[in-house]
Amino acid sequence: MDPRVTELHCIMPMGNIDSVLTHGVLSYERAAKLKHHSVAMQPIQDRRDQKQVPGGLKLHQYANLYFHARNPMLFKRRAGAADLCVLRVSTEVFGLDGTVISDQNAASDYVRFLHPRQWKLLDFDDIYAMDWTHPGDQVAYWRHKARKCAEVLLPNV
């Protein structure tokens, strides 16, 4: 794995910490059965609800982690930053059966879902870049914005 990947991140409201300590980080599907606070944006969740990981589960049946929390999702929620936290998760989750990585936001149209052994196909320079803007190049901005949100998907948790 790229040496910059020392931990994974989960962005969530601080009000969910007790639940995480009891139940762990859960998939969207499992979290929906518990009382919790969400930072999810409904239009994105509608897209994720329609996604199926090839050879795997529906996207909402995976808990999702980011390689790097300093990403467009966190930026979009900056107004509520005082109520958010970033959980640091061990990279040992790569060893869980059925774990999948995505080379960009898993809800993106052109996402590739990969086995963790295929990590070299991810653009870690873009994932860990401090900025994803590309003034004057809208297409480069869209691509980089999606890659900044590359994910690790943990099945049935």
**Among 7, 88, 143, 151, which one carries the catalytic annotation?**
151
Query: Is 48 known to be catalytic?
Result: yes
pTM to 2 decimal places: 0.93
Report whether 44 belongs to an annotated binding site.
no
Report whether 12 belongs to an annotated binding site.
yes
Asked whether residue 2 is assigned to any structural domain, the reply reads no
Report whether 10 belongs to an annotated binding site.
yes
State the average pLDDT over residues 136-153: 98
What distance separates the 2 farthest-apart alpha carbons in the chain?
47
The tens digit of pLDDT for each residue in 89-98 reads 999 999 999 9
Q: In total, how many domains does the chain have?
A: 1
Asked whether residue 48 is assigned to any structural domain, the reply reads yes
Q: Which residue has the tokens 């930072």?
A: 39
State the average pLDDT over residues 140-156: 97
H or E element at residue 89: strand 84-89
**Among 4, 29, 47, 48, which one carries the catalytic annotation?**
48
Asked whether residue 9 is assigned to any structural domain, the reply reads no
The tens digit of pLDDT for each residue in 6-64 reads 999 999 999 999 999 999 999 999 998 988 777 777 777 788 888 999 999 999 999 99
Report whether 11 belongs to an annotated binding site.
yes
Query: Is 151 known to be catalytic?
Result: yes
Query: CA 103 to CA 113: how far, in whole Å?
Result: 7
- Domain extent, residue 98, equals 15-155
In 10 A of CB 141, how many CB atoms?
14
Query: CA 51 to CA 58: how far, in whole Å?
Result: 6
